[in-house]
Structure formats: C-alpha cells, structure tokens
C-alpha cells in the first residue's frame, strides 16, 4: 500500500512568482521568506516522494464564480498552467497520477463526500508557486500531482471541521491505494491576510503561531471555529488556512515537525511554511 511520508504547507501569494521571475531570492525584502525553503527541500531529498497530493483554492483560472465546486479533484493526465498576470511565470505542465486520482475519487464518494471530478484542469499560482519553491528551476517535475481544490472564494464555504474530515478521508484513501509509491501531501494558502475592505492589511500573528503549534500537538484545535470566526481571526483571505487543516487531517496521529518558517509581511500576507513528517 502507498505510504504518506509527511506534509508541506505554505503560503502562495502571487508576488512570489514575480520575485522568482526577477531572481529576488536574496533581496532583503524577500530573503526571510525564501530562506524558509532550503531546509524543506533537503527534507524532500531524503523523503523521495513519487506523488504530491496538493490542497489549494483556485482563484479564477479554472473555476469562476458562475460554477464553484466546494470540493474538486483532478483526474487528468497532466495539468497545465496559464498566464494569470502579475508577472507570475507560466511553468511546464505537471504530470498527473490518474490511478491515485480515481482511487481518491472513488474512496471519497464512498465516504459520502460530493465531489466535482475534473478530467481537464488548469492549475493556478496556488499550485504552481509552491511547486516552484519546492523544486526550483526544474524543466521536468520529479513528482506526479493530484490536485484537490477547496472553495474559499465563493460563499458558503465548507466548515473547518468538514475540511479536516475531508483530509482524514484522503489520508485513508492514500494509505489504501494499491501502490508502493511515496506520497507527500501539500497544502497552500494563508496564513492571516486580508486584501480588501476596511481591514485590508490585517494580520494576526498570535493566531497564526497558535495555529501552527496546534498542527503538531492539537490538530483539530482550529476546527472549533466557524468560518465567520476564522475570517474574523485571520482575514478574508486568511481563511485559506483551510488547506493547512485538510493537509494535517491526512497525516494521522503520529507526527513530528521537520521545519517551520513565519515571516511578516510578504505582500500584505503573513507567510508561513511548515514541513511535518509522519512517524
């Protein structure tokens, strides 16, 4: 059966793409953010994943407000990127792992999760930038990808508790996949930030640090909050922390932290990065 090695969770703000495109990794503004990744890459070199299951939210490249699934799973042979503006580089296509995609879909529907299944799918910066941070400068991705999209754009959103349960179900599905492949779960978004309205620029460092701590010692801690409470605590776009909860749900009980980085601000966002290993 397949093996979950661990997880990586990270912010995905579009400005990261511009910084990569202009080679600003050592620039004083960007260095504290990019310095969070070499330890994660070193861990990946020893972990040797074959597949990454990526939780993220689409920002309008594949889904738009007219049709917005709560949960969607990619089942395509490959996933292409496209020009989103903002100077974000368009990256090479990502190879899919269709056998795992269909196993996840069948397992999740079997557990009463209602999904949208995508046999064609564009992937936006929320998937491409974390991949570019984890495997910089590659022409051929060393891992296959299964995208899992959670709506954090069009209300109503799924609750934190529901998203955690989705992550748990995906963890069970990966572990029951008849394959000897090694899987890392990736979750992208957050941490606290608000881009619009009266609270534009809002960041909540206390909450973010408590949340990161909770993922090790008390992983369901944030599921006690409603979506409204989480928006209040983390900002309208900070709600992307739902991806971190889904990711953590997939890991099971026994984990250890490999690395974490937290830096304020990157483009109005509290930028968090965390790698966790299953024991």
Structure tokens at 175: 């572990």
- Residues linked to residue 117 through DSSP beta bridges, in sequence order: 73
Catalytic residue among 12, 103, 193, 263: 193
Catalytic residue among 12, 59, 103, 125: 125
Chain centroid to Cα 196, Å, comes to 22
Cα–Cα distance list, 227 to 12, 28, 187, 240 (Å):
20, 35, 18, 11
193 belongs to the catalytic site: yes
Helix, strand, coil content of the chain in percent (nearest 5): 35, 25, 40
Tell me the Cα Rg of the chain.
17
Cα four-point dihedral sign 84, 136, 194, 147: positive
DSSP label at 211? H
For 174, other C-beta atoms within 10 Å of its C-beta total: 24
Q: For residues 232 and 242, what is the distance between their CA atoms, to the nearest angstrom?
A: 14
Helices (H) and strands (E) in the chain, counts: 9, 10
Cα–Cα distance list, 30 to 22, 128, 130, 144, 254 (Å):
11, 18, 15, 29, 33
103 belongs to the catalytic site: no
Sheet of 182-188, strands arranged across: 116-118, 71-74, 144-150, 51-56, 182-188, 3-10, 269-278, 255-266
* 3-class secondary structure, 144: strand
The residues assigned a catalytic role are 125, 193
């Amino acid at each position: 059966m397949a093996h979950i090695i661990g997880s990586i969770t990270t912010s995905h703000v579009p400005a990261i793409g511009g910084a990569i495109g202009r080679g600003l990794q050592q620039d004083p503004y960007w260095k504290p953010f990019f310095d969070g990744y070499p330890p994660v890459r070193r861990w990946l070199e020893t972990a040797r994943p074959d597949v990454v299951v990526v939780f993220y939210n689409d920002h309008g490249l594949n889904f738009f407000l007219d049709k917005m699934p709560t949960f969607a799973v990619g089942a395509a042979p490959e996933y292409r990127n496209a020009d989103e503006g903002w100077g974000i580089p368009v990256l090479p296509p990502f190879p899919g792992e269709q056998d795992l995609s269909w196993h996840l879909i069948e397992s999740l529907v079997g557990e009463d999760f209602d999904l949208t299944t995508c046999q064609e799918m564009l992937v936006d910066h929320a998937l491409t930038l974390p991949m570019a941070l984890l495997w910089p400068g590659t022409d051929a991705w060393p891992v296959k990808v299964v995208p899992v999209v959670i709506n954090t754009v069009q209300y109503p959103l799924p609750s934190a508790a529901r998203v955690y349960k989705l992550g748990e179900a995906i963890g069970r599905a990966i572990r029951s996949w008849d394959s000897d492949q090694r899987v890392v779960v990736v979750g992208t978004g957050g941490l606290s930030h608000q881009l619009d309205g009266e609270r534009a620029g809002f960041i909540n460092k206390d909450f973010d640090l408590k949340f990161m701590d909770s993922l090790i010692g008390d992983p369901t801690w944030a599921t006690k909050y409603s979506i409204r409470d989480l928006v209040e605590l983390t900002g309208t776009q900070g709600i992307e922390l739902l991806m971190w909860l889904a990711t953590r749900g997939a890991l099971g009980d026994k984990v250890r932290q490999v690395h974490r980085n937290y830096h304020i601000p990157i483009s109005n966002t509290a930028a968090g990065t965390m790698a966790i290993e299953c024991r």
